Structure 1
Amino acid sequence: MRAVEEAAYAEGDLRRARTLARGGHVGGISVTGGRMVAAVADGLGGGGRDHGLFTVDCRLPVLDDQGRAALVEVVAAEAGRIGSLLAGDLPHSLVEHADEAGVELLPYGTELEATCTCVGWLDPCPHALALLSQVAWLVDADPLVLLHLRGLPRDDLLARLHARTVSIAEPDDDLEAAALDTAADAAARAARLLEVIDADDVAPIDHLL
């Protein structure tokens, strides 16, 4: 909502946008990486040139590969974070730590771009602000929508977290080789110990232990 307010040219545009959004004038919203698209019905102009059904296309920069990888690491840094996200909560510490890692998760007004089929010359126009307001409410209910907009959809996030967990769980090749050598040495000592015990002449075996 802060970004929406920063992007607006006038308070009147914001009020009109909120009226449209709260009045159910924003249709189904299509959310993809970096884009929000919806139809907005505007009958508030009293039948003027701004009256009708308009298509709004809003855009937000997505994270690059390095940014997405850093965000996954931030989410994985604390065990409860992914659970909070899935439950509809965006931990403040996650946003702070992401920012420290060079990942600006929350958008700024200057990042938001929009086009609309209305005749208005403002960017964003009230119709675009209505769509952005509606998306802000969606993000408030489900922060994974914000990650999706930033280029990290839910399934991709979960897959990356799973791959990271599997990678950490797999033993290092050198450590695995060392463990095998230790096991082989222990097996050889055990076999030699059994040979000594089974022999007729039982010699002291302290040196084998």
Structure 2
Amino acid sequence: MSASPRPVTTHPRLPARRGGGAGTWWSKAVLRAVEEAAFSVADLRRGRTLARAGAVGSITVSEGGALAAVTDGQDAWTVEVTVPVLDDGDAAAFVELVAAESGRIGALLAGQLPHSLVEAVEEAGVELLPYGGELGSACTCDAWLDPCSHALAVLTQLAWLIQADPFVLTHLRGLSRDRVLRDLHALTSPRAPDPGSPGDQPALDDEVLDDLVVAEDAAVRAARLLGQERPFDAW
């Protein structure tokens, strides 16, 4: 039996923009990781310039990486970046921590990454926000070192995508939006008591279940709007 294909999400080309914007605390954390990954200030500045100029094409995000084309002058290069995915234990811990506090899944679907969630995730030993050494890359250009300026441009735009939608970050870590919702549903769904096990089953948290219902409805609405709106046009 063949394995199920990995979920992928393609984000449309971002328009040119002036400056990097104020950003959010989590997108700034990702941008710091990009800075740590760069081998030279010149490459980092060139990468930022390409990102702001809209030289990065559509970005396809999958579990553990992203793929995009970058136009530089008369040439176009293909860039692949990689981020380590969470193992099964860390992925399960992340979902449990999202479900542990009312409102967290709603915040994620609203484009927010609660600081309390990231703190709880880190205390559990789960790496969600990347650091520079975790960011791998490969480019079809002839640069000697990776990340080259083209890879840094893609990583910079990934930080901007994560700013608007933290599920881009979880997807890179191996947890797509659909998987998070599916695992939350499995975690919070009422289960029939097992006659063979002693004691009562833990009661279902009604607030978590209500949040999940709202979250699933929001996800459906967002999916309908994705093809109609481009939120980055206003940036």
Shorter-chain-normalised TM-score: which range? 0.7 to 0.9
Tell me the equivalent position of 2:175.
152
Per residue, is there more helix in 1 or in 2? 1
* Count of residue pairs brought into register by the alignment: 170
Query: Residues 108-163 of structure 1: CA distance to partner in whole angstroms, max 9, x if unpaired?
Result: 10001111010101110000000000000000100000000000011110011111
Q: Percent identity?
A: 61
Separation in structure 2 between the aligned mates of residue 178 and residue 109 of structure 1, nearest angstrom: 48
Root mean square deviation, CA, Å: 1.9
Tell me the equivalent position of 2:107.
84
Tell me the equivalent position of 2:39.
9
Tell me the equivalent position of 1:195.
none
Deviation at 1:172, TM superposition (A): 2.5
Report the structure number with the largest CA radius of gyration: 1
Tell me if 1:19 matches 2:49: yes
Instruction: Give ranges in structure 1 of 5+ residues lacking alignment.
Output: 44-50, 180-209
TM-score, with normalisation over the residues of structure 2?
0.69
Tell me the equivalent position of 2:194.
173
Q: 1:19 to 1:174 in 2, by over 3 A?
A: same
Aligned amino acid, residue 130 of structure 1: A
TM-score, with normalisation over the residues of structure 1?
0.78
Separation in structure 2 between the aligned mates of residue 173 and residue 60 of structure 1, nearest angstrom: 40
Aligned amino acid, residue 172 of structure 1: P
Query: Residues 77-134 of structure 1: CA distance to partner in whole angstroms, max 9, x if unpaired?
Result: 1111000000000011111100111111000100011110101011100000000000
Q: 1:69 to 1:12 in 2, by over 3 A?
A: same
Tell me if 1:30 matches 2:60: yes
Tell me the equivalent position of 2:227.
none
Deviation at 1:174, TM superposition (A): 4.5
Aligned amino acid, residue 166 of structure 2: P
Aligned amino acid, residue 112 of structure 2: D
